[in-house]
Amino acid sequence: MPGRDPHSGAAVRIRKAIALVNSVADEAGDEEITPTEIAEAIRDCLELTDVDSVPNVRRYLGEALDAVSDGMPADFVAMTLYAALGALREGSPD
Amino acid sequence: MKSAEGRGRTLDEAVDAALIELNESRRNVDVRILTETAEETIVEVSVIDQEAAAGEPAAPSNGKAETARGLVEGLLKHMGVRALVSVRSGSDPITLDISGRDLGALIGWRGETLRALQAVTNVMVGKHLAEGERVIVDVERYRQRREHTVREIAMRAARQVKMTGDAITLDAMQPFERRAIHLALEGDPDVTSSSIGEEPERRVVVGPRKPAEG
């Protein structure tokens, strides 16, 4: 489809992972998100082949996954995921 | 009386330049146009709020808040964004207000850029904060306005639930918006709120409170 962002699938999955992390950070107080769920959401992103079509996206996602495993603060994980989203956006055609 | 001279291509740019130098908000100042040509406008901006003029901090003396404010100010400067960063008075948690002109890009799609900015800020300020303590970043009171809007939506939904007795499912919202709704309705004896679905499609359901819950 002309003008369609080929990386939108990856962007949607990264946004889902960010939403989970933000939910932990912002404490809406209406759900329990475990690190396992966040790690799973990031692994879902890594499974997409289009993350390899843009430089650094896989690297940032890997760093975010490591940050979850290492118990880093939610904001740090969010920041790394935003970096992945930003790299994806920069690598997308206008 | 504190005052500063501002120069810019337009009146707004000139006023903004002076406001940044004064570290003041637009509502606390008086503006006098010194010269205005097609190429350049020069203004004199004077602080009219006496408390502000005396240099009284906007919030109770808080080293952490000032550290956060300085870091965000530096970050914005590196980003090439001309804006004023201030600490919201009497706010807990620490809230930084960013104000200026054309800051829509700093808010982004559904507040995404603002949320990213807040994440970066908390990572930068993290070592100065206590366990669980966080800094909230707001641009042109976007977050505050959204909270106000969703509270109004919650009240409207509550009125409808009371009339019809049927539960209402609201649109998907961010965590801070859902929290605002839960807080707005927690004191209502007739309705209750809960959330369903998974992020980022998680939605608040407003329904009648069952007698056993009351």
pLDDT digit string, tens, across residues B41-95? 888 888 775 554 444 444 444 788 999 999 999 999 999 999 999 998 877 889 9
Identify residue B96 by its one-letter amino acid code. L
Give the model confidence (pLDDT) of A15-27 as tens digits.
999 999 998 888 7
Give the model confidence (pLDDT) of A37-82 as tens digits.
999 999 999 999 888 989 999 999 999 999 999 999 999 999 999 9
Q: What is the pLDDT confidence band of residue B21, given thresholds at 50, 70 and 90?
A: confident
Residue percentage of chain A with pLDDT more than 70: 89
pLDDT at site B27: 64
Average pLDDT, chain B: 86
Contacts of A45 in chain B (CB under 8 A): none
Contacts of A31 in chain B (CB under 8 A): 195, 199, 202
Q: Which chain A residue has the Cα nearest residue B120? A: A79
CB contact A46 to B (< 8 Å): no
In this complex, do B123 and A75 lie within 8 Å of one another by their Cβ atoms? yes
Mean pLDDT calculated for residue range B109-122: 92
In this complex, do A82 and B116 lie within 8 Å of one another by their Cβ atoms? yes
Correct CATH for A8-90 of 3.40.50.920, 1.20.120.430, 3.20.20.10, 3.90.650.10: 1.20.120.430
Mean pLDDT calculated for residue range B148-161: 94
Would you give the DSSP letter of residue A32?
-
B143 backbone dihedrals φ, ψ, rounded to 5°: -60, -45
pLDDT at site A93: 63
Q: What is the pLDDT confidence band of residue B150, given thresholds at 50, 70 and 90?
A: very high
Find the helix packing angle between A8-26 and A35-47, rounded to 10°.
170
Q: Looking at CA atoms only, how far is residue A77 from chain B in angstroms?
A: 9
Contacts of A20 in chain B (CB under 8 A): 199
Reading the block at residue B200, the tokens are 């980022």
Q: Which chain A residue has the Cα nearest residue B203? A: A30
Q: Looking at CA atoms only, how far is residue A48 from chain B in angstroms?
A: 19
Q: Domain-by-domain residue ranges, chain A?
A: 8-90
Give the model confidence (pLDDT) of B34-56 as tens digits.
777 778 888 888 877 555 444 44
Using left for φ > 0, alpha for ψ between -120 and 50, and beta otherwise, residue B182 falls in alpha
* Alpha helix positions (H), chain B: 11-22, 50-53, 63-79, 104-107, 112-125, 142-164, 175-185
pLDDT at site B56: 45
